[in-house]
C-alpha cells in the first residue's frame, strides 16, 4: 500500500500502513493508514495501482494456493470496506469436490467424530527410519462434546481406532511405516499397513482415547525422493 501511494505521488502519508498484531483475528487481518486524499487525479491513479495489487494480496493471504486445504469452505476477501477515498475489493475461493475412498460408505459429515486431523502436514527428518526417509506429520486435536454432530458413528468414550489415507498402492514400497506420538506419551515406530488390494487405503492403527489424541502426532515415513504429495490420491489437499 505504501508503495502504491508513493507511485501515485500522494503525500503526505500521515500514517504509513504497517502490520499490527492487535488487529489480527482468527479469520480477519486489518491494516490501517492515513494519507492525503484531496487530489482526485492522484486518487484515480491510486485506485488503479491498488486494483492491480489485489490478486497479489490474495496470493499472499492464501499462501500462494487458494485451494489450500486450510481454506476449505472459506472465501478470501481483500477489501477497503467501502472507503470513500479508495473503494476496491476482490475475492477468491476454491471448493474441491468430495472424493471418498472407493467403496466407502462412511458418513463424511464434519464433526460426527470428536477427533480432528490437521488439514495439512509438515515434513521432518525421521527419528526411526534413517536419513533416506522423510516423515510427513499430521497433528491431532479433539472437539468438545457440545460441538459433536449427532450421528450413529460415535458414542461417548469411543477410541480413535485408526487413521486412513487415500493412497497410491503403486508406492507401497515407498512407505516405510509411521512414527506415532500420543499426547504426553513416548514416540513409537509402527510398520506400514494397507487395506485390501484395490482399496487404495493406507492406514495406521492407534486405539487412542480423547486425551491421547488431543495434541497427538502421526507421521508417515516415506522414502526419498517420493513425497506425501506423490503418495496421496484425490484432489490436492484431500489426504
Residue 218 and residue 122 share a domain: yes
61 inside domain: yes
What tens digit of pLDDT does each residue of 29-87 get? 999 999 998 999 999 999 999 999 999 999 999 989 898 878 878 899 999 988 888 99
Cell numbers representing residue 73 in the block = 469452505
Task: Indicate the pTM of the whole model.
Answer: 0.75
What tens digit of pLDDT does each residue of 128-151 get? 999 999 999 999 999 999 999 999
103 inside domain: no
User: In Å, how far are 15, 136, 175, 234 from 227, measured between CA atoms?
Assistant: 46, 8, 10, 15
Helix (H, G, I), strand (E, B) or coil at 218: strand
What tens digit of pLDDT does each residue of 91-139 get? 999 887 766 666 667 777 889 999 999 988 999 999 999 999 999 999 9
Q: What is the pLDDT of residue 131?
A: 96
Cell numbers representing residue 38 in the block = 484531496
Residue 70 and residue 27 share a domain: yes
Q: What is the DSSP letter of 71?
A: G
Q: What is the pLDDT of residue 238?
A: 53
First and final C-alpha spacing in the chain: 37
Residue 127 and residue 219 share a domain: yes
Spatial CA neighbour of 154 closest among 183, 111, 119: 111
The verdict on whether omega for the bond into residue 147 sits within 30 degrees of 0, i.e. cis, is no
CA 158/CA 148 separation, integer angstroms: 13
CA 69/CA 67 separation, integer angstroms: 6
Q: What is the pLDDT of residue 50?
A: 95
Domain housing 22: 2-93
Cell numbers representing residue 203 in the block = 492406514
Instruction: CATH number of the domain at 143, please.
Output: 2.60.40
48 inside domain: yes
Q: What is the pLDDT of residue 92?
A: 95
CA 99/CA 64 separation, integer angstroms: 23
Q: What is the pLDDT of residue 189?
A: 97
Q: What is the pLDDT of residue 69?
A: 78
Residue 58 and residue 126 share a domain: no
Report whether 38 contacts 24 (CB < 8 A).
Answer: no
Kindly report the CA angle at 135 between 202 and 206, in degrees rounded to 5?
A: 50
Residue 209 and residue 123 share a domain: yes
Residue 119 and residue 74 share a domain: no
Amino acid at each position: 500500500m505504501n508503495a502504491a501511494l508513493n507511485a501515485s505521488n500522494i503525500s503526505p502519508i500521515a500514517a504509513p500502513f504497517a502490520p499490527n498484531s492487535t488487529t489480527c483475528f482468527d479469520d480477519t487481518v486489518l491494516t490501517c493508514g492515513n494519507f492525503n486524499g484531496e487530489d482526485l487525479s492522484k486518487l484515480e491513479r491510486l485506485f488503479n495501482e491498488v486494483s492491480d495489487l489485489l490478486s497479489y494480496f490474495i496470493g499472499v493471504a492464501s499462501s500462494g494456493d487458494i485451494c489450500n486445504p486450510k481454506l476449505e469452505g472459506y472465501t478470501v476477501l481483500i477489501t477497503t470496506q467501502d472507503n470513500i477515498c479508495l473503494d476496491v475489493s476482490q475475492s477468491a475461493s476454491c471448493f474441491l469436490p468430495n472424493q471418498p475412498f472407493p467403496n466407502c460408505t462412511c458418513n463424511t459429515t464434519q464433526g460426527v467424530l470428536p477427533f480432528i486431523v490437521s488439514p495439512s502436514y509438515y515434513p521432518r527428518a525421521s527419528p526411526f527410519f534413517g536419513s533416506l526417509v522423510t516423515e510427513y506429520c499430521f497433528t491431532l486435536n479433539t472437539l468438545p462434546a457440545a460441538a459433536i454432530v449427532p450421528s450413529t458413528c460415535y458414542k461417548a468414550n469411543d477410541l480413535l481406532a485408526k487413521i486412513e489415507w487415500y493412497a497410491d498402492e503403486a508406492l507401497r514400497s515407498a512407505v516405510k511405516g509411521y512414527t506415532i506420538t500420543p499426547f504426553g506419551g513416548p514416540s513409537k515406530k509402527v510398520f506400514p499397513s494397507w487395506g485390501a488390494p484395490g482399496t487404495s487405503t493406507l492406514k495406521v492403527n492407534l486405539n487412542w482415547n480423547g486425551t491421547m489424541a488431543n495434541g497427538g502426532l502421526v507421521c508417515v515415513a516415506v522414502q526419498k525422493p517420493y513425497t506425501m504429495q506423490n503418495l496421496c490420491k484425490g484432489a490436492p489437499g484431500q489426504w
